[in-house]
Amino acid sequence: MLVRISADAEAVVPESSKEISRSRVSSAEAGAATHWRAQRIAWPLLVALAASMPLAASHARSVTRKALPPQIIAYIFPRNAVLQPSEIAAGKLTRINYAFANIQDGRIVIGSPVDEANFTTLVGLKQQNPSLQVLVSVGGWLWSGNFSDAALTKQSRRRFIDSVAAFVDRYKLDGLDIDWEYPGMTGAGNRFRPEDKRNYTLLLKELRGRFDREQRAVGRPLLLSVAAGSSSDFIAHTEMGRMQRYLDTVNLMAYDYYEPGSDKISGNHAPLYTDPADPKRASADQSVQEFAAAGVPPRKIVLGVPFYGHVWGDVAPTDHGLFQPGAPVPNAFANYGNIVSNMLSNGFTRYWDAAASVPYLYSAQKREFVSYEDTMSLALKCAYVRRKGLAGVMFWEYTGDPTGALLSTINTAFYGNGAGAGGGR
């Protein structure tokens, strides 16, 4: 069944692969005006859902938390740039995870000389949104090499945790996000051990105990979260059912299911549902189910979405390039702003994988395929979050969309037109 969305007629957007087969929508039929028309149809339903599912975040040893509204968590990765308050729409966020701090000599340390100034700027945004919480994220793809050593023994964990407590206090932060990529696995050539599986749990348990004591002293909640890989391998190398007891949220990185550097065929890098034609059978929905089966309550799962796309080259036109052999395109990593401003108006046609509920682009002339997220797919993911009782949405990363359209889509879906996340807490 072909789903056609034109500028002349309104259509209902499919929300499940069970309702409709995989189909395509061209950009000539679904341009910017069409995106907003589809959103106007979806918003009333999304807003009506917003009040129906109060969410709770709690952990085994901490003070009791109030029920939380849908979380909108932005990872901000300034790449050594000094942030300006005007660059951040603080009223549309509930939490900021600043990336990244590093680990050196077993202690957490700043990752860039500009970090101290940026922490001051981000904490200062609470003047605009008093409910905003600012965390530091430690690790990431390139700086996860020292986690295994830091978590190895009681003494090494104490050393790390003491440094975290001092770091959070010094910069007046609201907690810590751990992005260990990955326990028990090499990641970017990192040191790892079989013991990482148990030691990660112990590290989180001891961090939670320290935060519980510290937050009574500082008079504000101190949050603890992790960025979790979406694969079954990540679950196999962690004790998610035990870990979640000490966490406020599990930020599920439900993207990069397909990457040009590691996948020899093109594919949806952030599908909501599984496309039957996908050789990997991958999707965010599948990952959410697996994490729930591993013992993570849905109310603690934050669905991760990408503000960037992946590009494959030398892709044949069969099925407009989807699930076809391809190769990386040098220097072609595309954030959402670049996709909208340069690709959609420069020879690429937009198509819609209705089974997966995500868009993609294909240029027959360039033989290039682009997988990405847009406002339509985000609206469907926000509806999914509410329907499944998840904690909210996080995204990597803030600077990927200078237009602000993606964040506005999330904020409107959860809090309605004219409202902000800060006012909804």
Q: Measure the CA–CA gap between 325 and 321, rounded to whole angstroms.
A: 8
By DSSP bridging, strand 223-229 and strand 175-180 are parallel
Looking up tokens 């751990």 gives 178
CB 165 within 8 A of CB 214: yes
d(C-alpha 211, C-alpha 200), whole Å: 16
Residues 166, 172: Cα–Cα separation, whole Å: 10
Give the whole-angstrom CA distance, residue 147 versus residue 160.
Answer: 10
Which H/E stretch holds residue 261? none
Percentage helix, strand, coil for the chain under 3-state DSSP, each rounded to 5? 35, 20, 45
What's the distance, CA 406 to chain centroid? Answer: 12
**Reduced to 3 states, what is the DSSP secondary structure of residue 388?**
helix
Set 15, 116, 181, 214: catalytic member: 181
Distance CA 4, CA 344 (A): 18
Alpha helices in 54-177 (DSSP H): 115-124, 147-150, 154-170
Q: Which of 251, 242, 233 is nearest to 200 (CA)?
A: 242
Q: Does 181 participate in catalysis according to the annotation?
A: yes
Residue 56 pairs in a beta bridge with: 67
Cα 269 to Cα 255: distance, rounded to the nearest angstrom = 5
Q: Containing H/E element for 362?
A: strand 358-363
CA 311 to chain centroid, in Å, comes to 19
Question: Helices 375-388 and 284-293 sit at what angle, rounded to 10 degrees?
Answer: 20
Residue whose pair of structure tokens reads 């609206």 in the numeric block: 379
CA dist., res. 215 & res. 223, Å (int): 9
Cα gap 205→211, rounded to integer Å: 10
- Residue where the block lists tokens 């549902």: 273
Question: Looking at the annotation, which residues are catalytic?
Answer: 181
